[in-house]
Each structure stands twice: as C-alpha cells, then as structure tokens.
Structure 1
C-alpha cells in the first residue's frame, strides 16, 4: 500500500496557478469544476459575483480556465477565480496581438491633451497623438495644447484601425498605434515613388516647421521650412495656404516618410553665384535677420551670408549700426558656394580697409 502511494503523484497547486477544467455542476451559489486528478474546483461567494457576466454564459460540460485562489479550503475544494483568469487570458491575447502586429478596429472613447482613449476587451488603452497617421494628426498653429485637444475631441466616436504596441499587464498599460497599421500598405504605395520624382499635391497643413502635402489618398509628405524657398522663410503661412495645389520634388524616402522640397524646383542661386562672386568682392546687401550671433545679409534672392557679431562688438552696437530691411555695403571674407557658405564684414557708410580673413 505504501508503494502505491509513492507511485502515484498528484500535481501540487499553489495560489496564482491557472488550471483548466470542465464544469460539472451549476448552482445558484456556486459553480463546480472537475479538475481531474487535482480534485474539484469551486467558484462561489465574491468570486462568483465578480464573474457573474461570464458565468451566465457558461453551460454544463464547458471547459474553462480559472485561477487558483485557495489550493484547498476546509471543505476540500480548490477555490477558483474566473475573473482573474479571464483578465490573464485577455492580457495574453493582447501580448500575442502585439507580437503579430494584428490590426484592430476600435472606437475612440475619449480624448486628452496627449492623445486618444480606446477600449479593447474591457481594457482601457491609450493612443498617443504621436502614433496617429499624419492624415489624422492635429495640426495646430504654435502647438497650442488646448487647440490640439479640441481637434482630438472631434475624433471621439470615430473608428480607427490600430495595432497594440505595448501590452504590460503589471503596469496595466495598453498602448495603441495607428502608424504601425500602415506598414505593408505604405510599402506598396511608396514603391511607386523614388527620390527625384516631381509630384503634384494639395497642401493639407501649414505649420511653423513647414507644410504637409497630400500626394495621393492616405499618403502625405513634409516639406521642411528650409526646403520651401532659397530665400529665408520666417513663417510658412506667409507663402502657403491649406488647399493650395503645388508641385514638389521628393528628396528623401526614409522610414515610411517622404521628404519634399519646393525650392529644388527652382535654380540654385549658389550655382550662379560661383561665376558672379569671389572673396574680397564688395557687395550691397539687405539685412534679413538680426540675433545674438550676428546679422544675416541677403546679397541677392536666395544668397545670404553671415556678419559675425564680433564685427560689431556687441548685439546692441550691431542694432545701432544696422536695421532689418535696410541695404548696406559689405565685403565678402569667405566664399564657399559648394558648401553654401559665405561670411561678410560690414563696411559702414564709408568703405574701409577690411581685415584679411
């Protein structure tokens, strides 16, 4: 007899284990589960109330997964929790969906200044604004947070196709991304374009750092402020409006993003300047910017050089001697057109001997 006891081994359960079993009885106050060699499990009391929605759909003979709350109570049953097990199963599925990057169609429930709130399988998740596709990203002048929130709130009730990018059960953190869903689709669309292509598009956004151009449905590119004109652009809004139809040149395609240039469609003034200017030339220039580093001076449209602050001594002295928008005589002390680099010295009202560079 002692030999038989040693030969038969039974699995030892501990709190927190997950176990499968078959429902063998349903009563108003309890649910009984056959756990095989482990014994009989029971879901009752607070655990039964917590899982009442799940229990209402369970039938005799159904196989279920439950979490062990008490390996053996005073009546000899294994106390089980369906709700805890259900939550674990959902998080496992979330991690699987994240790993496989499977798209989900979810409805936007709420909005805050950081992004959008969505719900999946009873778990509240977050879609950061930074993870929105460019077509949905709120473009607000000056990055005003209240205005951004206003734009995000307009999306409440809409459905978006997203993927799970973070599923952290311990932190109760579920993060979605709309950007990730377009990977394959975007690759196919982008395959039609290459660097150097000239495209027609409609301006869909004008912001401090440039303009967004819709090239085709679902595909946008960004022309950075530095690529809008050969001349200095302080504010893109002075040159472009939403709805304008323009041409642009593709200058880069990286990480699913298209970079555009408007100025690349115009002749490069630095190329012409090679034949026109040289170090030592005295030129007339218009002051187009003043700051603590010095003065930026346009010798002609799209061709500008820096007069270093050291030429004036202090910023106050510089501002006393020259003004924005006015023309003064300067001498070229460094001229490297291939590097698009030029430095100047201010000659004042009377041309003076210039220090050698």
Structure 2
C-alpha cells in the first residue's frame, strides 16, 4: 500500500473534548440498551403483545449497543497509544496497534447492521400498513440475512484485504476505520462500501418509505371520508369505527427512527464527504474545510455512539406505557411490599 496520507491534515485532530463526548455517548447508549431490553422483557412478562416491529427494534438496539462497545474500545486504544500522529503517518501503520483492526471490524459491521435494521423497519411498516398478519418465515430469514449477512460479508472482505486500520480521524473520531495508508481512490471507495454509502442510502430510502406511508394514509382517509358520507352511521359512531380500523401497530415513533439516525450521524456523513473532497482536489482547496471539519467532529463523536441512547429515550422514557412498566417494577413493588402486612393479598396487586 502506498502512503498517500498528508501529515499536516490530521495533526492534533483529536483532543479531550472528542474523547469525553465519545465516552459519554457510548456509555449512555450501553446503559440505554440494557434499559430497553429490560423494558421489552417486562412487556413480554406482563402478557402484552410484542409485535414484529418491536422485535426488530431489539435487533437494531443490539447492533447499536455493540457499535457503542466498539467505539469505547477505540477510545481506550487511542488513549493508550504512545506514538504521535506524525510517527503514525511516517510509518504508515506498518505495525498496527493491538486492537485497532479488531475494533474497526466490530464498529464497521454493527454500524452497517444498524443502517440495515433501520431501513428494514421502515420497509416493514410500509409493506404491512393496514395488514396485521405476521411476516412469513422466508421474509424473516431474508431480513436477518440482509441485516447481518451483508455487513459480515463486506467487513470480512475488508479485513481480508488489509483495508481496516487507523484512518487518523479523517472520516471517524477517536477510533479506527479504513486505513489511511490506502491510495486515495481506494480509501474513498471502501469508506463508501463499508458504511457511508449504506448510510446515505438509508437516509433516502427511509424518507421514501415515510412519504409513501403518509401518502397511503391520506388516500385511506379520503376513501373512508367518502364512505362515511354515503353511510347512515352517525358522525360519532363513524369516527369510532374509523379509529378501530386504524392499524394498531403502525406507530409514528418507529417511523422517527430514521430521523434520529439522520440527526445523529449527518455530521459524520458531512465529514466523510468533505474528506473525500480534500482527498481528490488540489491542496490549496483543502484549508477551506478544516474549520467545518473540526466543528462537525465534536458532533460526530457523540452522535455516532448515541443511537441506542436515543432509542431508549423514545421507546422507554417518552413512552407512557413502557415508562409505567418500569416505574411499577422499581417503585410500586417496594410500596406493595411495605403495605403487604396491612392490606389483603388482592389489594396489594400493582
């Protein structure tokens, strides 16, 4: 591999603020993932139905949690590194630090899996709109093949070709991704194949599914309005009937997952695009991107590691039903045990 890295471009890129932001986002995401898993367990234990979309949310959270664990290990590797940025550039990573490739493999695989699960959820909501029937076994297998199999194949191909390593934060934060030792064209190509291309595709495909669901909902409401006008049902009874016919599992919050991904990861996407421009344009144009890149790096350091945290906030903290389940488990149980000697067994049920 030829050394195409410009040392001046990457010196002093990471400082304590990026370290703190990555540690905070990753740690909170891991905690949030376990809270969401526990809330899912309580919902299942209470006998409430757990539809397919909520199961897909669990798989998405698993991917986000392992991505956060990978970013934590990347920060630990960065803090334990003794070589300066100049030394790394000069050596072109002929001897990669222990854990760099392993961490890059982990974060690359699970971040891609997160993109795929977000897209699958949006597709599933569109495909099953006004249809409560569960997916067929073949469709479920296809979902898992896409979301786990494709990222695994791409990441394994990348590591077999010695493409993973420290990118000197050209497209990432304080963690490894695609090696900075690759020629410019190869770096841009594999950054696209191993993450950013799928991420951008997720933005547009989920937006399309969201708009299609909204359009279909409008069409259905127009049809119901025409039917209701010609029917003899009273207005109040007609409204109740329309509410009952509404698909119960079509939840707006699941459609917001892609917006969360966009809000959290758009800064990394912009940095990837500006890094590609720097790589493939004249040197005199590169300085114009440095200030934007440094600002966006702060947001990326937190955003790339905070997906599971935001999922927990959206589906546990801001969800009244799930919040009450957690509150009853941690607070009501203690109150019930205190009142048990004074109250009958029937009245102590929470």
Structure 1 length-normalised TM: 0.20
| Greater C-alpha Rg | 1
* Higher relative strand content: 1
Structure 2 length-normalised TM: 0.21
